[in-house]
Each structure stands twice: as structure tokens, then as C-alpha cells.
Amino acid sequence: MSNPGLPSDLPRPEDDGACNHLKGTTFPSLSLPSTAGDSVDPASLSGLSILFCYPRTGAPNENIPTEWNAIPGARGCTPQACSFRDASKDFSELGVSRIFGVSTQDTSYQQEIKERVQLPYQLLSDEKLEMVTALTLPTFEYQGKALIKRLTLAVEDGKIVRVWYPVFPPDKSASEVLEWLKRRPEKAKA
């Protein structure tokens, strides 16, 4: 499966401390629409789940404007999603129960990318900004819409146990999480 490349001159996002408050936080109970046609409450899931948040994926044949590439950390949502797709078996072997991608795009839009790049996990929509608000997640505005800055959360039995922020480069996101899982003393035995 193809993984779209990234320009080599993308601006690197800086750690502005916007996620420092998250580690150790109990995930709030909320219901996010899923590309499976149901809703998921990450707070109620047992075991270890990985939620990677991304700003937005482009539509097929969408021309990526220069202004998008100029936003630090904006570009690379599809490569990030594909990195988790390609490593999904490794995550399972290292004790991860579920992987979810999360954006503020609506579920029907997310369904298209899920099918197009054959994602084996569900995408969750925070279109109403419930998760963003409850967790005070960092966002930026683009074309009048609030988008989540790229970050990844490890949520175990309803508690945030690890945060990756900022995530860069996005296509290496899954491998960074896998490295943490391999070093984690309480990791499940494969």
C-alpha cells in the first residue's frame, strides 16, 4: 500500500507546553462517532488504547495549498494514519487493545480516507469539539474550522498514561509509540 511522501522542508512544530497537563489525567466520559457506525467512549475502554489526533486528511486529488504546508505540524495526516496501519500487528503484539485516529472532520469524510487507504482501525470524529474541550487539547484554525494539533495519547483503563506532542515527522508517529511500548516495563507479553 502506498504511503504518500512528505516534503523535506516542512516546518517543525515546537513544544508549546499545550499538552503538559494531560499525562495522568482521567479520560472524560464522552461519546465520539466512529467510522464503524457506532460511538466510542474512550474512557470506558479496558486495556491500552492508542489515540492519535491529527488536523485533517485531504480529499482524493485535493491540491495541498502552500499555506497548509507552512503551518508547523499540519501536513502529514495520511502518512501518519498509514504508519499506524502498517504497524497495527506490532501494536497488537505489544499489548495494545485498540488504535483510533481522531480529527474534527465528520464521520462521512473520515470514512472515505479509511476505505481509500485501507485502515484496519476506526476513526473517531470530534466534530463537536467535545474531546478538545474536555481535555483542553491544542488546536489551530484553518479556513474557519478548529483543527486538533497533531498529538498521540496512550490511554490505559481510562487514564492517559503517555502523551506525544508535538508529533514530528508525522510518518514516524507509530514507530515512536512502538519504541515506548517495547521499553515499557509493564508491557504485555506477546
Give pLDDT tens digits for 81-122. 999 999 999 999 999 999 999 999 999 999 999 999 999 999
Averaged pLDDT for residues 133-140? 98
Residue 2: the pLDDT is: 39
Residue of higher predicted confidence among 62 and 155: 155
**CATH number 3.40.50.720 given to 72-183:** no
Domain ranges of the chain: 72-183
C-alpha cell at 48: 491500552
Q: How many whole angstroms from its chain centre is CA 109? A: 16
Assess whether pLDDT exceeds 60 at residue 189: no
How far is 180 from 184, CA to CA, in rounded Å?
A: 6
Higher pLDDT: 3 or 80? It is 80
Q: Residue 188 — very low, low, confident or very high, per pLDDT cuts 50/70/90? A: very low
What confidence score (pLDDT) does residue 3 get?
41
- Residue-wise pLDDT for 157-180, tens only, equals 999 999 999 999 999 999 999 999
> Distances in Å between the alpha carbon of 35 and those of 68, 97, 119, 163?
26, 17, 11, 24
Q: Mean per-residue pLDDT for 145-165?
A: 97
The CA dihedral of 91, 100, 16, 5, to the nearest 10 degrees, is 80
Cell 475502554, residue? 45
Q: Please indicate whether residue 80 or residue 64 has the higher confidence score (pLDDT).
A: 80
Q: Which residues contact 157 (CB under 8 A, 6 or more apart)?
A: 45, 46, 47
Which amino acid, one-letter code, is at 137? L
Global confidence as pTM: 0.92
Look-up of cell digits 466512529: 34
Q: Radius of gyration (Cα) for the chain, nearest Å?
A: 15
The torsion of the CA quartet 166, 113, 64, 1, rounded to 10 degrees, works out to 90
Helix, strand, coil in percent for the chain, rounding step 5: 30, 25, 50
* Vertex 158 angle, CA 157 and 162, to 5°: 90
pLDDT of residue 186: 63
Contact by Cβ (8 Å): 18, 166: no
pLDDT tens column, 37-59: 999 999 999 999 999 999 999 88
Residue with cell 501536513: 75
**What's the pLDDT at 1?**
43
